[in-house]
A and B are shown apart, each in its own frame.
Chain A
Amino acid sequence: MTDEDREIQGAGAAGGEAGAPDAVRRRLLAMAGAAAALVLAPGVTVLARDLAVKGARGGRVRYGLLIDARACRTGCDACVRACQDYNGLSRDPGPDNAQWIRKVTITDPGTGFTRSFPVMCQHCADGACVDVCPTGASFRRPDGIVLVDKHRCIGCRYCLMACPYKARSFVGRNVTDQRPWAPRGKGTAEGCTLCVERVTAGDLPACVAACQRAGHKAMTFGNLHDPKSAIAVRLSEVATTTLRADLGMRPGVHYRGI
């Protein structure tokens, strides 16, 4: 554990005080950056990593994607299928079934110029989904990944309406065969998690890995705030855009060639 990591210290749940961990954690969070550890039982400690750790060059971590629409093949849906397979989503998305990533084809009617590229949660810095969520279930982690805390989600679907990218889905039917790493069930909103547990373990998101395996290499994942990361270098060299940049939500997903 480095000094950049944060520990959260709390009283023992083992003592039978049901409310104690929450109360203590709240107190400690107010201590802003103090080293602490959540003690769940005598000798049992949970270390929470500070996601707002400073990167190698002093910048804060913000995960993002660069999608090169010029390299993305029309008709290829390797990223979509990899997402469905890894996260246990249905292969048959519908009104009551979730879809975390989809292929979109755009055509300029004037010139006939056509591009095909994937669209998923854009992991905005100022996402509308986080703004409108009445329970705080829709939240942005300090490392830039936007998630739904399904323990808090009440299924109101405001985020589905607010997101201009239509990146959120609502699960409207009972779900079986969930992946252990992707709990999901009826009555909650959900969206791309950027494969958060893979990213935490140092892996690439499933869609990015699948795109590489397919040989297209249209997707780059990395820390936008690390100037030496492949994605930051690329973004500094080539002209890219974000979808609906006019909305000012500062997406973490960048596109090239659209």
Chain B
Amino acid sequence: MRRRAGVLAVVAVLLAIGLVWAAHRGPVVVPVIPRAPGHCVLPIGQMRRTHMMLLRAVRQEIVRHDARDTRFRISGCVACHAQDTPSGRPIPVNAPGQFCAVCHAYVGVHIDCFACHAAVPPSRRLVARLAGQGVEQVEFRIPQALRAQFAGGAVSGGGQ
């Protein structure tokens, strides 16, 4: 009996130390992921688990086999998920706290996608200039068009 009380006392002390330490550290920080309107191309859980594999598989198909109709282009992620500053300028998705960076920073993953790939959608000015030259870059158009296309797609999923 006495021995049991002793164990309980030790546990209580350890718990108290842990609680004090946790309170000192502040709450556990989980990434706050910026949300995009409309539906993603897949259910959110599936995207969170498999986006890296999708992008990896698709990049082969796009570069070497010209599968340019796929919805899993990295430019599609950027088109929907790049946030705007209050003044309307797009923020790169790999900037601190932004869609790609926030989780990768949390789990300590280093990606170099955006050393080459654009981290912001093309500016409206550029899209307008190219449209003036007769270039139909439908999939890179202003994100709203893309969002509507994705929202109306056959893929059902969560609303991020």
Contacts and interface: CB of A to CB of B under 8 A. Distances in A.
Interface of A: 8, 10, 13-14, 16, 18, 21-22, 25, 38, 40-41, 43-44, 46-49, 51, 82, 85-86, 139, 141, 143, 147, 149-151, 174-175, 177-181, 183-186, 188, 196-198, 200-201, 203, 206, 209-210, 213
B60 interface: yes
Contact of B66 (A10, A178, A180, A200): A200
17 contacts: A13-B57, A14-B50, A21-B56, A38-B61, A40-B57, A41-B46, A41-B50, A48-B61, A48-B67, A49-B67, A85-B129, A150-B116, A174-B115, A184-B116, A185-B116, A196-B66, A203-B135
Interface residues of B, number: 44
B73 to A, nearest CB: 8
A249 to B, nearest CB: 21
A181 B137 CA distance: 9
Contacts of A149: 63-64
A141 B46 contact: no
Interface string B58-81: 111101111111111001001100
Interface of B: 41-42, 46, 49-50, 53-54, 56-61, 63-72, 75, 78-79, 115-118, 121-122, 126, 129-130, 133-138, 140, 154-155
Contacts of A82: 133
Contacts of A184: 116
B99 to A, nearest CB: 16
Contacts of A206: 133, 135
A203 B66 contact: no
Given A38-B67, A40-B57, A183-B116, 13 more contacts: A13-B50, A40-B54, A40-B72, A41-B42, A44-B42, A44-B72, A177-B118, A179-B122, A180-B79, A180-B122, A181-B137, A201-B136, A210-B133
Nearest to A85: B129
B116 A48 contact: no
A175 B61 contact: no
A51 B54 contact: no
A33 to B, nearest CB: 14
A198 B115 CA distance: 23
